[in-house]
Amino acid sequence: MQLTGADIVVKSLKEEGVEYVFGYPGGAALHIYDAFHRQDDVQHILVRHEQGATHAADGYARSTGECGVVLVTSGPGITNAITGIATAYMDSIPMVVLSGQVMKPLIGYDAFQEIDAVGISRPCVKHNFLIQDVNDIASTIKKAFHIAKTGRPGPVLVDIPKDITADVAEFLYPQDLTMRSYPAPRKALPNEIVIAVEAMLSAKKPIIYAGGGIVAASAQEPLRDMVSKLGFPCTNTLMGLGAVAHSDPNFIGMLGMHGTYEANMAMHDADLIIALGARFDDRITGTLHNFAPDAKILHVDIDPSVIDKNIKADIPIVADVKEVLIAFNNELTRREKDINPELLKEWWRQIKQWQSLDSLWYEVDDKVIKPQFVVQKLHEVTGGQAYVTSDVGQHQMFAAQFYGFSDTHRWINSGGLGTMGFGLPAAMGVKFAHRDADVVCVTGEGSIQMCIQELATCKQYDLPVKVINLNNRYLGMVRQWQEFSYEKRYSNSYMDSLPDFIALSEAYGHVGMQITKPSDVEGALKEAFAMKDRLVFMDFITDQQENVYPMIEAGKGHHEMRMRPGSKTLA
């Protein structure tokens, strides 16, 4: 079948099973947009800014495990998309970004809206392509999806010059592909499993440290199986929240800079750290020189480059974490009689003592709304089953600490790049994938303004997400650091002029609410969630001085957490 390049693009997306493409048109992409107009198989979602398109595709990908897809034009189209591509890259999210490019004969001549898309995206993509021939479109798109989804996932950019999309070629979507330079991921060797399980069975102070790789590999079930077999304490990273349910007695909270005291102390004192799909990043480890001094490190990851990058592994296993966990469980079943819960008694006694400090404690106030209180009530009102996106800052940490996730793919935040503006467009992407679920964006008055234009997209496509704006009139995390480390010199962390968020929401055609009293929080949430078909923007006026505790400050280790003033201390 002879088709134009533009039709081949759209047909290839259909072949990949793509439901939604998030994008924004422009000159170099117009042939492709015309091809979209000719079909109904793949739906194009028109956002209001290309950054929103990438975050929406990202939210779609994170909540489904499928590949998010983006279409933008050349020049500013792709430069606007870069922040969202980098966000996906840092968190290993599968995404394919198609960008229009100026016509081939114009490339290199500083044509209108020309930018070297392959060059500018190179540091923040898993791979990228510039298509040179209409005959290569289908196979390149096939490769792009394959690379984005396999191994350690990540974004892949396909840049397509405009003239190529007008050229005609025979369309035949390849069924197979061979890429000699992109081999299948390594598989674990039987002996590696035996050695790892042996280390588990003899550990007296073990901890399971599970990260975003569990989410990427959909390895929640075998992980939970292993945790219940072994009875080991388990901590999740910010990216791995939900891997073990917050209600599981073996779950001791998130670890890292704003993790629980017990999770960080357990990491520090452990004799065996079982790192599963996690990468020992700086927000997790604190300073490296006093990181877990007595621990043997068992590190499982699909990406060989994270092994020994920050922390040297004693038992490295490079393979898909789900396959490894299944193999661990089989070996543990075989050696069931060697599992000795007695070995862990003293360790659990110690952990319970740390837990008794209640490190997430905060003072409930009846006059001013505490942000933590809003998140706790949000959990209650949504039954803990909502998809929660967040932006970046204090509200992100409060959501991570207090929402209490029961499953993976529910907590959607920019952990690696820390992109303000992520939350609202990500929630749009989630809502497209989960029409009947509660989708909430927990944000702050700083972050929300970075992509607030997407309220219009929410209106156009009837996306009744709920926006929880924890409004403390400060860039809260910046203010907190300035309080702790800059002698309260609040340089440029206060926004003197904020919009009337109720009027703003209404201007976009949504419902706005402002909540100023703690006693109104629960009622307002119930009222908002009862409005099933409306986007409700809830502006919670919260305590300006509230800080995120506990905290590992710069230069400190896991065992040196700063607790909230007035906290209990160990006797």
Partner 1 sequence: MRHIISVLLENESGALSRVSGLFSSRGYNIESLTVAPTNDSTLSRMTIVTTGDDRKIDQIEKQLNKLVDVAALQDITIAGHLEREVVLVKISVLDEQIDTLKRIVKSFNASISDVSPNKFIVEMSGSCEKVDELLSSLQNGDIIEMVRSGAIGLASGEETLSIPCQID
Residue 180 makes contact with partner 1 by CB under 8 A: yes
Residue 314 makes contact with partner 1 by CB under 8 A: no
So which residues are the catalytic ones?
50, 112-113, 162, 477
Q: Find the shortest distance in angstroms from Cβ 307 to partner 1.
A: 8
Residue 184 makes contact with partner 1 by CB under 8 A: yes
Q: Which stretch binds partner 1 (CB under 8 A): 212-220, 301-309, 497-505, 563-571?
A: 301-309
Q: Which CB sits closer to partner 1, 83 or 235?
A: 83
Chain-centroid distance, C-alpha 285: 19
Amino acid at 240: G
Residue 303 makes contact with partner 1 by CB under 8 A: yes
Q: Find the shortest distance in angstroms from Cβ 313 to partner 1.
A: 11
Given 294, 308, 462, 500, the residue binding partner 1 (CB under 8 A): 308
Q: How far apart are CA 77 and CA 115, in angstroms?
A: 10
Nearest to 269 by CA among 361, 214, 348, 358: 348
Residue 491 makes contact with partner 1 by CB under 8 A: no
Q: How far apart are CA 428 and CA 434, in angstroms?
A: 10
Residue 123 makes contact with partner 1 by CB under 8 A: yes
Helix (H) or strand (E) holding 328: helix 321-334
Contacts of 336 (CB under 8 A, 6+ apart): 229
Given 178, 191, 492, 569, the residue binding partner 1 (CB under 8 A): 178
Nearest to 522 by CA among 406, 321, 380, 411: 380
Side-chain-side CA neighbours of 205 within 13 Å: the count stands at: 19
Q: How many residues bind partner 1 (CB under 8 A)?
A: 23
Residue 304 makes contact with partner 1 by CB under 8 A: yes
Q: Which CB sits closer to partner 1, 116 or 407?
A: 116
Give, to the nearest 10 degrees, the angle between helix 394-402 and helix 371-382. 40
Side-chain-side CA neighbours of 223 within 13 Å: the count stands at: 37
Residue 108 makes contact with partner 1 by CB under 8 A: no
Nearest to 65 by CA among 200, 220, 179: 220
Contacts to partner 1 from residues 134-173, by CB under 8 A: 147
Residue 175 makes contact with partner 1 by CB under 8 A: no
Residue 483 makes contact with partner 1 by CB under 8 A: no
Question: Residue 185 gets which letter from DSSP?
Answer: P
- Sheet containing 536-541: order of strands: 411-412, 387-390, 439-444, 466-471, 536-541, 511-515
Name the token pair of 139: 């196979």
Chain-centroid distance, C-alpha 215: 9
Find residue 21's DSSP bridge partners.
Answer: 44
Nearest to 204 by CA among 275, 272, 297: 272
Q: Which stretch binds partner 1 (CB under 8 A): 117-125, 133-141, 336-344, 430-438?
A: 117-125
Give, to the nearest 10 degrees, the angle between helix 5-15 and helix 137-149. 30
Given 3, 29, 102, 130, the residue binding partner 1 (CB under 8 A): 130
Q: Which stretch binds partner 1 (CB under 8 A): 36-44, 304-312, 414-422, 437-445?
A: 304-312
Given 168, 179, 503, 554, the residue binding partner 1 (CB under 8 A): 179
Residue 104 makes contact with partner 1 by CB under 8 A: no
Residue 309 makes contact with partner 1 by CB under 8 A: yes
Given 175, 183, 491, 532, the residue binding partner 1 (CB under 8 A): 183
Q: Which CB sits closer to partner 1, 107 or 339?
A: 107
Find residue 99's DSSP bridge partners.
Answer: 72, 159
Q: How far apart are CA 64 and CA 61, in angstroms?
A: 5
Torsion of CA 384, 390, 394, 397, to 10 degrees: 50
Name the token pair of 118: 């392959």
Q: Which CB sits closer to partner 1, 307 or 420?
A: 307
Strands 2-4 and 168-170: antiparallel
Q: Which stretch binds partner 1 (CB under 8 A): 45-53, 73-81, 197-205, 299-307?
A: 299-307
Question: Residue 183 gets which letter from DSSP?
Answer: P
Nearest to 18 by CA among 94, 120, 122, 85: 94
Residue 181 makes contact with partner 1 by CB under 8 A: yes
Residue 555 makes contact with partner 1 by CB under 8 A: no
Q: Which stretch binds partner 1 (CB under 8 A): 271-279, 300-308, 474-482, 500-508?
A: 300-308
- The answer to whether 78 and 119 are in contact (CB under 8 A) is no
Q: Which CB sits closer to partner 1, 302 or 524?
A: 302
Binding-site string for partner 1 from residue 245 to residue 284, where x marks contact by CB under 8 A and - marks none: ----------------------------------------
Binding-site string for partner 1 from residue 210 to residue 229, where x marks contact by CB under 8 A and - marks none: --------------------
Q: Which CB sits closer to partner 1, 119 or 523?
A: 119
Residue 289 makes contact with partner 1 by CB under 8 A: no
Q: Find the shortest distance in angstroms from Cβ 389 to partner 1.
A: 29
- Binding residues (CB under 8 A) for partner 1: these are 118-119, 122-123, 126-128, 130, 147, 178-184, 303-305, 307-309, 312
